[in-house]
Amino acid sequence: MTRSTTELTEQIHLACLLEASARKPGNVHPNASFHDLEYADFVRSADIIAPILASPTPEGLGTKILAAVTATQQERHRNTNLGMVLLLAPLAAVPREQHLQEGITDVLQATTRQDAALVYEAIRVANPGGMGRVDEQDLSMQPEGTLVEVMRLAAERDLVAAEYASAFDITVETGAPFLSQLENFVEHWEAMIVTLQLILMRDHPDTLIARKCGAETAIECSRRARAALKAGGLGSTLGREQIAQLDKWLRSDDNRRNPGTTADLIAAALFAAIREGMIVPPSVEEIQRDVSQMQDEGPWLTSDTQSA
């Protein structure tokens, strides 16, 4: 493995690990599990996909995406990272000498119909929740366009597809810049990630929630995130109470309100910020230390946690 490949693997791995480790409302994290998913599933999934997505193979995006999803399914037997893989694969494919904003359009425009077919297969392998038949480019059919073209068809109903259609606008224009606002990201990474989640849910109703529970529920989630931020977010007692209430609401209905697409966008933003040198991330050992402290604290952020 070359130095650049090793560095890229580490960047992908850290982005996935940080996203999974932050105690975000409604998601699996070190102190919260679903009946079929726990924190360890996401930690191991990060280990699995990072070297696959970082490998300098010439086969194309579709091959890497299918390989990463298949490897995850073979070991974990569940969908932990389909959206994350779909977002990270093109970002990781941008040549090292280019900034993401400069190179991502070329990566997307170079996608082929074969890439689209392989991504369709990856989606079938992952079997994500909330998938139904759609009028155009149904997954049971062969794609009639390149990967970026079929993503454009789904952009209005899926935030991951919308990132392909917009050259990763949310990732590079909102997510990564927000994470870079503090110099000492290492000390405040969890607060920054939780706050970014609230901002993204406020501004972009989570499309996994919309698929599973309907658009009205996704909009209600946005309203609650907006209220928590308006109340001061993690920086105020009322804001933390609102976040805790949002967490409880998201975990009701057998966790069907899990804001999973927002989590995928956060992983992409973390990778972009790390890759571009916008933040200095904590090491794996530092994350593990912080996670151990979280588990000692209990199920939610402590009352004296301050906003980043």
Over pLDDT 70: what percentage of the chain? 92
- Does residue 104 sit within a domain? yes
In-domain check, residue 307:
no
**307 has a pLDDT exceeding 70:** no
Total number of domains in the chain: 1
- CB-CB contact of 27 with 263 (8 Å): yes
Which percentage of the chain shows pLDDT scores above 90?
Answer: 81
Is residue 300 in some structural domain? no
| 88 contacts 53 by C-beta, under 8 angstroms | yes
pLDDT band at residue 299 under the 50/70/90 scheme: low
Does residue 306 sit within a domain? no
303 domain-assigned: no
In this model, does residue 308 exceed pLDDT 60? no
pLDDT reported for residue 139: 66
Average pLDDT value for the chain: 92
Predicted confidence (pLDDT) per residue in 176-234, tens digit: 999 999 889 999 999 999 999 999 999 999 999 999 999 999 999 999 999 999 999 99
- For residue 304, being part of any structural domain is answered with no
Q: Counting beta carbons within 10 angstroms of the beta carbon of residue 242, is it exposed (0 to 12), middle (13 to 18) or buried (19 or more)?
A: buried
pTM of the complete model? 0.94
Q: Look at residue 52 and tell me if it is in a domain.
A: yes
- What is the span of the domain harbouring residue 239? 3-295
Is 197 within the bounds of a domain? yes
Q: What CATH code is carried by the domain that includes residue 252?
A: 1.10.4200.10
Give the pLDDT confidence of 236-272 residue by residue, as tens digits: 999 999 999 999 999 998 889 999 999 999 999 999 9
